């Protein structure tokens, strides 16, 4: 199976990421939502905070709001940025901001001519949609910077990720739908199944200047799916730490299995 964890070069090192953890935790302890089950926990929040600070864009488009923990983090990290937040169901929000422009329709139904500086905008997708299609179409709209939260390797996950594309793995929806209706939809191309292929990876290698999987702070012996966290099955960048060297790292240890290979991508 093909595998890529990095394309191009980022301007930071493991040491820089490690050294920034205490600053992140100062912010993280102010988070408005204590129980963010179904949404971002410390591994994602840390990666998002770190990458947003590094890229420092003027605009952020967030797709997948859930309770609003991520919206809060974006606002806290980039107080001068204009934030656009999308969720098909905005009723779950517990954190709302008057400074944020909210939408309740898919990203592609929105007229993005409202954003002038697309090259100074990051798109943060945490909405479990086909990441490959997002990149292809958003590139056409002129957007350069991307974060994808649900970047699952071949096997688990409910959407086609860039990681799966780099692995040539395709995507098999674990649909509850069975029988004739499933067969008809498959024949008509109406499911979101993606056949294993190498052309999507070739396309990504051509258009991306950077593809970077944020390293986990820790990895556990077992994944959240209950099997061994084996590097062959779940190729993962080296974790930042092997042991809990400081007490403040405990939260990352406890939530290590919620890591989702969050990736940063930049179009050439
Ligand atoms: C994992 S949650 C997002 C977690 C959130 N980023 C956080 O800060 O905790 C996924 C969200 O994506 C939303 N969603 C599903 N399809 C979507 C779409 N096409 N566009 C935007 N949001 C979508 C769901 O309603 C759900 O609230």
The pTM for the full model equals 0.94
pLDDT at 174: 73
Chain-wide mean pLDDT for the chain? 94
As a whole number, mean pLDDT of residues 196-208 equals 98
As a whole number, mean pLDDT of residues 154-161 equals 93
Answer yes or no: is pLDDT of 156 > 80.
Answer: yes
- Do β-strands 263-267 and 145-148 pair in parallel, antiparallel, or remain unpaired? antiparallel
**How wide is the angle at C-alpha 29 spanned by C-alphas 28 and 35, nearest 5°?**
85
**Distances from the Cα of 253 to the Cαs of 43, 150, 259, in angstroms?**
9, 20, 11
Compute the distance from residue 88 Cα to the ligand 1 centre, in Å: 7
Answer yes or no: is pLDDT of 198 > 80.
Answer: yes
Compute the distance from residue 86 Cα to the ligand 1 centre, in Å: 8
In which band, very low, low, confident or very high, does the pLDDT at 33 lie, cut at 50, 70 and 90? very high
Name every protein residue with a CB atom under 6 angstroms from any ligand 1 atom.
36, 38-40, 63-66, 69-70, 86-89, 92, 106, 126-129
Q: Where are the alpha helices (DSSP H) in the chain?
A: 14-28, 42-55, 69-77, 131-141, 162-166, 179-187, 199-207, 250-254
pLDDT at 88: 98
Residue with tokens 């205490």: 22
Distance CA 210, CA 204 (A): 10
As a whole number, mean pLDDT of residues 107-133 equals 97
Ligand 1 atom showing the smallest separation from residue 63 Cα: 21
Compute the distance from residue 151 Cα to the ligand 1 centre, in Å: 14
Compute the distance from residue 131 Cα to the ligand 1 centre, in Å: 13
In which band, very low, low, confident or very high, does the pLDDT at 1 lie, cut at 50, 70 and 90? confident
CATH topology of domain 6-267: Rossmann fold (3.40.50)
pLDDT at 177: 55
Answer yes or no: is pLDDT of 187 > 80.
Answer: no
pLDDT at 3: 85
Pocket probe for ligand 1: among 32, 41, 64, the residue whose CB has the most ligand atoms within 8 Å is 64
pLDDT at 189: 58
To 10 degrees, the CA torsion angle through 102, 107, 113, 114? 10
Compute the distance from residue 134 Cα to the ligand 1 centre, in Å: 14
Ligand 1 atom showing the smallest separation from residue 107 Cα: 20
């Amino acid at each position: 199976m093909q595998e890529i964890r990095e394309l191009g070069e980022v301007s930071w090192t493991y040491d820089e990421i490690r050294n920034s953890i205490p600053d992140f935790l100062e912010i993280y302890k102010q988070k408005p939502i204590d129980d963010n089950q179904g949404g971002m926990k410390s591994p994602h929040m840390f990666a998002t905070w770190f990458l947003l600070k590094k890229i420092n864009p003027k605009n952020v488009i967030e797709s997948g709001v859930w309770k609003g923990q991520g919206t809060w983090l974006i606002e806290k990290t980039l107080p001068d940025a204009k934030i656009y937040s999308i969720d098909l169901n905005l009723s779950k929000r517990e954190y709302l901001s008057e400074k944020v422009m909210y939408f309740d329709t898919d990203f592609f139904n929105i007229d993005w001519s409202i954003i002038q500086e697309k090259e100074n905008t990051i798109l943060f997708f945490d909405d479990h949609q086909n990441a490959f299609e997002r990149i292809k179409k958003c590139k056409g709209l002129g957007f350069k910077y991307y974060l994808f939260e649900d970047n699952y390797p071949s096997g688990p996950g409910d959407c086609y990720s860039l990681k799966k594309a780099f692995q040539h793995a395709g995507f098999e929806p674990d649909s509850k739908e069975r029988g004739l209706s499933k067969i008809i939809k498959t024949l008509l191309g109406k499911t979101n199944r993606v056949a294993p292929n190498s052309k999507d990876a070739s396309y990504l290698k051509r258009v991306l200047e950077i593809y970077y999987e944020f390293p986990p702070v820790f990895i556990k012996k077992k994944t959240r799916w209950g099997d061994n966290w084996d590097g062959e099955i779940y190729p993962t960048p080296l974790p930042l730490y092997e042991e809990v060297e400081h007490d403040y790292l405990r939260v990352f240890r406890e939530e290590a299995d919620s890591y989702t290979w969050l990736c940063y991508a930049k179009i050439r």
